[in-house]
Structure 1
Amino acid sequence: MKPDDSPTLSMALVAHDQMKDTMIEWVTKHRDLLAGFELFGTGTTGGRIAEETSLDIKRLKSGPLGGDAQIGAMIAENRLDVLVFFTDPLSAMPHDVDVKSLLRLATLYNTALAINEKSATLLLSALRT
């Protein structure tokens, strides 16, 4: 993945409700690589990842209850290297403002960002080298 003497990269895993199963499938498929990251996850997503993959993941609040803001703060404080956020483009989100803010912060602070399976897989592949 990376030289043994380099610091562990941090990654947040977030998925909208309709994308949680897709996230679990993706994490399961890439479990061994993801085990090398310091992982964070919002509410239900983080809980399901821990339960279904046995990965060590630090659970934050649910997205609408502050989890998106927690990840945004991590980005602004340069404590997050990668954000994998499987968004559902066809569903309205009651906390859409939080979602847009999180994506804006990831862009502003030049955080590696993936918003679907293919981009997440490509990003993970690039990080392995």
Structure 2
Amino acid sequence: MNIALMAHDNKKELMVQFCTAYAGILARHQLYATNTTGHMIADATGLDVHCFLTYAHGGSQQIGARISYNEFDMVLFFNDPANEARADDISYISRLCDQNRVPFASNIATAEMLVLGLSRGDLDWRLIVNPSSSRPLA
């Protein structure tokens, strides 16, 4: 499945720790991230992460466009609720996921539930909704 990983600046290290803890599960899927987050994850875990542009250069819009085309099966976006300046990007991604029935987590607790469910096969319904989800994005 295609999984998008995003994190606000104060949550990037938490995302790295999360991906380290669940590397065994995540390694069986295609991972995509905004540039800084993706490189941090890849460097720390050895996971293969396709990196889009940085947030400042439109990385969240690139991910948003792929959500709109139903190319992601899960989005993990670790939100920093104390950073009101970035509230619009979490809202934008959340709305797109809701519109396209893409499982979405904005915090580590929900992300853990989704990743464990992914491991159990609870998200296999995405293969019916999006048969191309077993293939990497072009």
TM (norm. structure 1) is 0.88
User: Which of 117, 126, 130 is the aligned partner of 1:126?
Assistant: 117
- The 2-side partners of 1:29 and 1:99 are apart by 24
Give the structure with the higher percent helix: 2
Aligned-partner SS, 1:118:
helix
Q: Deviations over 1:37-67 (max 9, x none)?
A: 1000102100101111110000001123211
Q: In the alignment, is residue 29 of structure 1 matched against residue 21 of structure 2? A: yes
The aligned amino acid for 2:65 is: A
Q: CA deviation at 1:28?
A: 0.3
Mapped partners of 1:19, 1:96: distance in 2: 14
User: Which secondary structure state, in structure 1, belongs to the residue aligned with residue 13 of structure 2?
Assistant: helix
Native 8 Å contact 2:38 2:51 kept in 1:
yes
How large is the Cα RMSD of the aligned pairs? 1.1
- TM-score, normalised relative to structure 2: 0.82
The answer to whether the 8 A contact 2:16-2:40 is kept is: yes
Q: Could you report, residue by residue, the CA deviation over 1:63-90 in whole angstroms, capped at 9, with x for unpaired residues?
A: 2321111111111111100000000001
Q: What are structure 2's unaligned runs of at least 5 residues? A: 121-138
Distance 2:35 2:52 in 1: 6
Gaps of 5+ in 1: 1-8
Counterpart of 1:115 in structure 2 is: 106
Residue identity (%): 34
Q: 1:99 to 1:63 in 2, by over 3 A?
A: farther
Report the CA distance between 1:124 and its aligned residue. 0.8
- Distance across 1 between alignment mates of 2:78 and 2:38: 13
CA positional deviation for 1:96: 4.0
Number of equivalent positions: 120
* CA gap 1:80/1:44 in 2 versus in 1, 3 angstroms: same
CA distance in 2, matches of 1:123, 1:98: 21
1:53 to 40, 45, 54: 45
The one-letter amino acid paired with 1:101 is Y
